[in-house]
């Protein structure tokens, strides 16, 4: 061999010699470390073995193995240079370091690497796997170490291109991943890798692809799309082309494969309406062609022409939307009926206040409760109740009958409420009220007993127990009344007039004539009676001082001379005498308000006529109205806004559950007591005065706070209170009303509500959104219940 050739050979093997040398150094230090760690555990046998014969050695090994002292057996074998045996014994004895030492002595790097991997010495394990040329195992260890690039390279070296591609994909090396996927014909994965590469590139420019780079991205998209097609995923290919603006190409791809309808859609999206229509003509679909022409007209902004084309195509589905945009709501409703979208049709007819048509559509849709509500508004009371009954909601049907004064029908409906129904106790409670109004006191008492059967007295059923006690008192069962009143005081010492009743019964064993009792509210009044509550002269209430006045009348601080307590005594406007229907409504609303017993609602004690005036006697509250606080301080801290609004929500939730709508929620009707409690007052009085003021075309409620539907004189439900509370929250937070100038009624109907943050930027964003949602024009967009609003307020974070 010539020197030159020999020299060249040396040069070639020098790198391998260097690697071999490094590995041997590594092996040397590992073995030394392992041997050093074992020195203290060698025992006396190290010295004794020198004197053992071969036969003694074998006998000792057998003894140690029989006693499962594998580690010592391994040490003996190792000391004798029997490394294969030593490795086996070490593994049996779970002495992994000894096993590594034995494997290294035998240059079994792969086995040593596997043991080090178990010991979680991943770095040395991976190096040994590489030395053993087990690149797959080395790659797996580098995966554990998180070195994805190295792992990918090793799998590539091992010839596992698919696995290396997968790892490159995880490492974000998408071009490498794409190349390897394509090599193994994993077309879909290769396409996905290329998509990720494009997304990576886009993120670097924040999604803003410059015009000069567009062709580069489009070429990548074409390559990726080609891979998707090979993988049989033409849909992804088309989506990718669409994303990069290659709509005409995606359409051509579809057209070439005979998918003319899909091609037509892509051409349409590209604005190539003629090509789109050509595809449809080849399919012989004239109606669809008309739809394409409609799209063309829409692109031109010609909605009327577009809807004409849709009529030709009898595409009532799309026509309904265009009719709506053109303000042709009735046509929109008819179109929706044609396609059987009865629920949406019902909503349209509701919008145009065609309640009968709305009810019919909701009935077809099987939404019987909604249908009942609409029939009710249409004056079709029998249909309404029929819908409630068909829905199986006999409690609501009965409540509906009761609210309209149809007491017998209400009784029949309520008596169908099954005992397992969640509203059974409520139904019994309402039956108790109705039987009282009909003078059927024994039946009323039995109904209330069913309402509280097997129930312990608690704050939730206090009113039922109170009514039962009152009935026992009226029926002469004084002992039972006494027992119930005493139980009530155990739960609420100040509940209504229980203490007074209890004291009276104990002292006299008789009751005051029902005409002077608060329970007079439960009697049926007629206009023929001079004193609707049967109050006798002389004057019962002694006026102490005037404490306020407004559109609802004058409020005095007064003393009830019969029950010897201070009350708030409101004298209603004198004009009420000239309106018989308003008087009837007054007593009905007073009775409804008197049934409301809740900590955040001012309790109504009595109502009637005295000294020629109609009055209502209420709980007297030491404190001031929120309006008075605002007049003094300008606005409230945001925390106070949330607290007050939350307590008002609880009051409204209680009232709404009993079908009582306030109709005049405002800051002057919210009392803030000295013991930091909110008290909501004047339930239902706005509705009473509506008829009195009807000749002035003024709706019930205060103009600055009233909802749009209330301002328009439409039928209102509990959501009108949500709107008014939103206005009140706006006022509390900002110190001003949302519509403080101009025609407030007009603004409530037409002007978008302002945002509180425009006045006080520091307002919590959640609270700002809550107030804004409350003041939406459409009731369906507001919070749908006081409970829902209360839950939203609980999430507001204010200091």
Q: Which residues of 661-688 are buried (b: 16+ CB within 10 A; e: fewer)?
A: bbbbbbbbbbbbeeeeebbbbbbbbbbb
Q: Which residues of 227-264 are buried (b: 16+ CB within 10 A; e: fewer)?
A: bbbebebbebbbebbbebebbbbbbbbbbeeebbebbb
What pLDDT does 111 receive?
73
Sorting pLDDT into bands at 50, 70 and 90, what band is 32? Answer: low
In 3-state terms, what secondary structure has residue 762? coil
3-class DSSP assignment, residue 504:
helix
Residue 148 to residues 11, 134, 152, 203, Cα–Cα distance (Å)? 33, 17, 6, 22
Give 511 or 400, the one with higher predicted confidence: 400
pLDDT at position 378: 84
3-state secondary structure of 190: helix
CA R_g for the chain: 44
Q: How far apart are CA 518 and CA 607, in angstroms?
A: 9
Contact between 721 and 665 under an 8 Å Cβ cutoff? The reply is: yes
**Average pLDDT of the residues in 31-59:** 57
Q: Label residue 374 by pLDDT band (50, 70, 90).
A: very high
Q: Which residue in the block uniquely carries the two structure tokens 């000295």?
A: 674
CATH architecture designation of domain 522-620: 2-Layer Sandwich (3.30)
Are 109 and 45 in contact by the 8 Å Cβ rule? The answer is no
Query: How far is Cα 631 from Cα 140, in angstroms, rounded to an integer?
Result: 75
* C-alpha triplet 238, 239, 240: angle, nearest 5°: 90
Residues with Cβ within 8 Å of 453's Cβ and at least 6 positions away in sequence, in order, are: none
Structure tokens that stand for 472 in this block? 């026992």
Q: Say which residue the tokens 């006693």 belong to.
A: 67
- CA–CA separation, 506 vs 712, rounded Å? 54
Count CA atoms closer than 13 A to 668's CA, side-chain side. 13
d(Cα 86, Cα 597) in Å, to the nearest integer? Answer: 89
Buried b (16+ CB within 10 A) or exposed e, 388-409: bbebebbbbbbbbbbeeebbeb
Q: Give per-residue pLDDT as tens, 363-372.
A: 999 999 899 9
Distance, CA of 737 to CA of 746 (rounded, Å): 14
Displacement of CA 224 from its chain's centroid (Å): 40
pLDDT at 158: 73
Q: Say what the pLDDT of residue 514 is.
A: 34
Chain position carrying tokens 């994909």: 169
Preceding peptide of 538 cis, ω within 30°? yes
H/E stretch holding 674: none
Mean pLDDT of the region 279-296:
88
Q: Do domains 522-620 and 624-793 have the same CATH topology?
A: no
Average of per-residue pLDDT across 701-724: 87
Burial 267-292 (b: 16+ CB within 10 A, else e): bbebebbebbbbbbeeeebeebbbbb
Burial of 81 (0-12, 13-18, 19+ CB in 10 A): exposed
What are the start-end ranges of the E strands in 79-135? none
pLDDT-derived band of residue 93, with 50, 70 and 90 as boundaries?
low
Which tokens belong to 19? Answer: 């690697």
Lowest mean pLDDT among 346-355, 539-548, 779-788: 539-548
What is the pLDDT averaged over residues 594-616?
Answer: 85
Nearest to 257 by CA among 275, 235, 272, 242: 235
Contacts of 377 (CB under 8 A, 6+ apart): 355, 715
- In this prediction the pTM is 0.38
For residue 574, with 0-12 CB atoms within 10 Å meaning exposed, 13-18 middle and 19 or more buried, which class applies? exposed
Answer whether 365's CB lies under 8 Å from 348's CB. no
H helix intervals, 50-82: 54-66, 70-79
Rounded to whole angstroms, the Cα distance separating 633 from 644 reads 16
* Residue range 300-332, pLDDT digits in tens: 899 999 999 899 899 999 999 999 999 999 999
What pLDDT score was predicted for residue 211? 56
Task: List helix spans (H) across 661-762.
Answer: 685-692, 708-711, 719-734, 744-750
Report how far residue 728's alpha carbon sits from residue 649's, in angstroms, rounded to the nearest whole number.
12
CA neighbor of 475 nearest in space, from 422, 503, 506, 514: 514
Phi-psi region of 371 (alpha: psi -120 to 50; beta: other; left: phi over 0): alpha
Q: What is the pLDDT of residue 559?
A: 92
Cα(120)–Cα(644) distance, rounded to whole angstroms? 62
Q: What confidence tier does 25 reach under pLDDT thresholds 50, 70, 90?
A: low
Q: What fold is seen in the domain 624-793?
A: Transferase(Phosphotransferase); domain 1 (1.10.510)
In this structure, are residues 258 and 236 in contact, taking their beta carbons and an 8 Å threshold? no
Q: Contact, 644 vs 670, CB < 8 A?
A: yes
Three-class SS of residue 615? strand
3-state secondary structure of 67: coil
Q: What is the DSSP string of 222-258?
A: HHHHHHHHHTT-HHHHHHHHHHTT-HHHHHHHHHHTT
User: Could you give the dihedral angle defined by the CA atoms of residues 173, 176, 181 and 185, in that order, rounded to the nearest 10 degrees?
Assistant: 160
Q: Left, alpha or beta for 392 (phi > 0: left; psi -120 to 50: alpha)?
A: left
What is the DSSP code string of 179-227?
HHHHHTT-HHHHHHHHHHHHHHHHHHTTT---HHHHHHHHHHHHHHHHH
Asked if residues 126 and 99 have their Cβ atoms less than 8 Å apart, the reply is no
Write the pLDDT tens digit of every residue in 146-193.
777 777 777 777 777 778 777 776 766 667 776 777 676 766 776 676
Rounded distance, CA 218 to CA 239, Å? 13
Angle at alpha carbon of residue 411, lines to 408 and 415, rounded to 5°:
150
pLDDT at 389: 85
Percent of the residues in the chain that have a pLDDT greater than 70, as a whole number: 74
* Rounded-to-10 torsion of CA 398, 399, 400, 406: 70
Say which residue the tokens 């559950």 belong to: 657
Strands, DSSP E only, in 96-160?
Answer: none
Question: For 341-365, what is each residue's pLDDT tens digit?
Answer: 999 999 999 999 999 999 999 999 9
Range name among 33-37, 173-177, 318-322, 567-571 with the lowest pLDDT average: 33-37
| 683-709 confidence digits (pLDDT tens) | 866 555 555 554 333 334 467 898 999
Residue 10 to residues 23, 25, 33, 484, Cα–Cα distance (Å): 20, 21, 33, 111
- State the residue for tokens 């801290």: 637
Which ranges of 404-519 does DSSP label H, i.e. alpha helix? 407-414, 424-437, 441-451, 462-474, 478-491, 498-508
Residue 581 tokens, joined? 């229907």
Neighbours of 707 (CB within 10 A): 29
What distance in Å separates the CA atoms of residue 327 and residue 330, rounded to the nearest whole number? 9
Which residues make beta-bridge pairs with 655?
Answer: none
Contacts of 743 (CB under 8 A, 6+ apart): none
SS3 687: helix
User: How far is residue 648's CA from residue 641's CA, in Å, rounded to a whole number?
Assistant: 11
Query: Which pLDDT band, with edges at 50, 70 and 90, does 101 fall under?
Result: confident
Residue 631 has which token pair? Answer: 């007049």
Q: What is the pLDDT of residues 380-436, one digit of tens each?
A: 777 888 898 888 889 988 887 887 677 888 899 999 999 999 999 999 999 998 998
Whether the CB-CB separation of 591 and 608 falls below 8 Å is answered with no
3-class SS of residue 660: coil
Q: Is the pLDDT of residue 521 over 60?
A: no
More confident residue, 798 or 672: 672
Summarize pLDDT for 208-256 with one digit per residue, the tens: 655 555 556 666 767 777 778 777 778 888 877 877 778 888 898 888 8
Q: Given this model, what pLDDT does residue 520 score?
A: 37
Residue that wins the pLDDT comparison between 212 and 137? 137
Separation between Cα atoms, residue 196 and residue 207, nearest integer Å: 13
The residues spanned by each domain of the chain are 172-243, 522-620, 624-793
Q: How confident is the model at residue 523 (pLDDT cuts 50, 70, 90)?
A: very low
The 3-state DSSP class for residue 337 equals helix
Among 481, 494, 655, 684, CA closest to 570? 684
User: 499: helix, coil or strand?
Assistant: helix
């Amino acid at each position: 061999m010539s020197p030159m050739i020999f020299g060249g050979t040396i040069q070639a093997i020098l790198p391998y010699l260097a690697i071999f040398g490094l590995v041997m150094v590594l092996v040397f230090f590992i073995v030394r470390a392992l041997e050093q760690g074992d020195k203290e555990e060698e025992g006396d046998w190290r010295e004794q073995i020198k004197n053992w014969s071969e036969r003694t050695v074998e006998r000792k090994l057998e003894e140690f193995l029989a006693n499962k002292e594998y580690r010592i057996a391994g040490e003996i074998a190792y000391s004798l240079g029997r490394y294969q045996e030593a490795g086996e014994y070490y593994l049996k004895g779970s002495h992994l370091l000894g096993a590594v030492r034995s494997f290294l002595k035998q240059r079994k790097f792969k086995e040593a690497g596997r043991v080090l991997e178990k010991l979680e010495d991943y770095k040395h394990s991976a190096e040994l796997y590489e030395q053993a040329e087990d690149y797959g195992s080395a790659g797996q260890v580098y995966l554990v170490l998180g070195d994805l690039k190295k792992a990918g390279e090793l799998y590539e070296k091992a010839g596992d291109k698919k696995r290396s591609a997968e790892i490159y994909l995880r490492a974000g090396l998408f071009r490498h991943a794409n190349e390897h996927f394509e090599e193994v014909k994993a077309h879909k994965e290769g396409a996905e890798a290329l998509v990720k590469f494009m997304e990576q590139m886009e993120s670097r420019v924040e999604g803003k692809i410059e015009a000069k780079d567009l062709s580069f991205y489009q070429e990548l998209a074409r390559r990726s799309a080609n891979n998707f097609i090979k993988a049989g995923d033409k849909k992804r290919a088309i989506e990718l082309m669409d994303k990069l603006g290659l709509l005409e190409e995606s359409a051509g791809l579809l057209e070439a494969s005979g998918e003319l309808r899909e091609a037509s859609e892509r051409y349409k999206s590209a604005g190539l309406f003629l090509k789109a229509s050509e595809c449809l003509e080849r399919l012989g679909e004239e109606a669809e062609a008309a739809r394409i022409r409609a799209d063309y007209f829409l692109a031109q902004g010609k909605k009327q022409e577009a809807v004409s084309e849709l009529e030709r195509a009898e595409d009532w589905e799309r026509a309904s939307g265009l009719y709506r945009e053109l303000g042709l709501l009735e046509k929109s409703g008819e179109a929706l009926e044609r396609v059987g979208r009865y629920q949406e049709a019902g909503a349209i007819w509701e919008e145009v206040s065609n309640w009968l048509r709305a009810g019919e559509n909701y009935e077809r849709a099987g939404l019987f409760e909604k249908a009942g509500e609409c029939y009710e508004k249409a004056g079709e009371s029998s249909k309404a109740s029929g819908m409630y009954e068909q829905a199986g909601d006999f409690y609501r049907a009965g409540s509906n009958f009761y609210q309209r004064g149809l007491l017998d029908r209400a009784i029949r409906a309520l008596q169908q409420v099954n005992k397992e129904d969640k509203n059974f106790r409520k139904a019994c409670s309402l039956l108790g009220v109705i039987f009282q109004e009909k003078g059927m006191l024994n039946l009323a008492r039995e109904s209330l007993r069913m309402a509280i059967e097997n129930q312990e007295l608690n704050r939730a059923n206090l009113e039922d127990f109170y009514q039962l006690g009152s009935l026992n008192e009226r029926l002469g069962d004084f002992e039972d009344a006494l027992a119930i009143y005493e139980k009530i005081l155990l739960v609420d010492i100040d509940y209504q007039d229980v203490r007074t009743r209890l004291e009276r019964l104990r002292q006299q064993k008789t009751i005051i004539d029902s005409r002077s009792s608060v329970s007079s509210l439960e009697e049926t009044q007629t206009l023929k009676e001079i004193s609707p509550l049967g109050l006798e002269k002389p004057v019962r209430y002694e006026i102490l001082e005037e404490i306020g006045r407004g559109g609802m009348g004058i409020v005095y601080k007064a003393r009830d001379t019969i029950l010897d307590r201070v009350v708030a005594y409101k004298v209603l406007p004198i004009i009420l005498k000239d309106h018989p229907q308003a008087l009837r409504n007054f007593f009905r609303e007073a009775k409804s308000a008197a049934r409301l017993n809740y900590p955040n609602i001012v309790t109504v004690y009595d109502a009637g006529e005295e000294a020629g005036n109609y009055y209502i006697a209420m709980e007297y509250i030491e404190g001031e109205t929120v309006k008075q606080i605002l007049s003094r301080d300008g606005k409230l801290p945001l925390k106070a806004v949330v607290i007050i609004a939350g307590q008002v929500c609880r009051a409204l939730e209680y009232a709404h559950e009993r079908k009582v709508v306030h109709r005049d929620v405002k800051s002057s009707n919210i009392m803030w007591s000295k013991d930091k409690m909110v008290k909501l007052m004047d339930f239902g009085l706005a509705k009473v005065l509506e008829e009195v003021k009807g000749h002035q075309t003024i709706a019930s409620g205060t103009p600055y706070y009233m909802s749009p539907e209330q301002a328009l004189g439409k039928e209102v439900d509990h959501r009108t209170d949500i709107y008014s509370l939103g206005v009140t929250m706006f006022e509390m937070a900002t110190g001003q009303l949302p519509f403080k100038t101009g025609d407030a009624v007009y603004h409530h109907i037409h002007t978008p509500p302002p945002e509180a943050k425009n006045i006080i930027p520091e307002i919590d964003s959640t609270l700002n959104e809550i107030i804004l949602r409350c003041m939406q024009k459409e009731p369906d967009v507001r919070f749908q219940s006081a409970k829902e609003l209360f839950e939203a307020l609980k999430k507001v974070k204010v200091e």
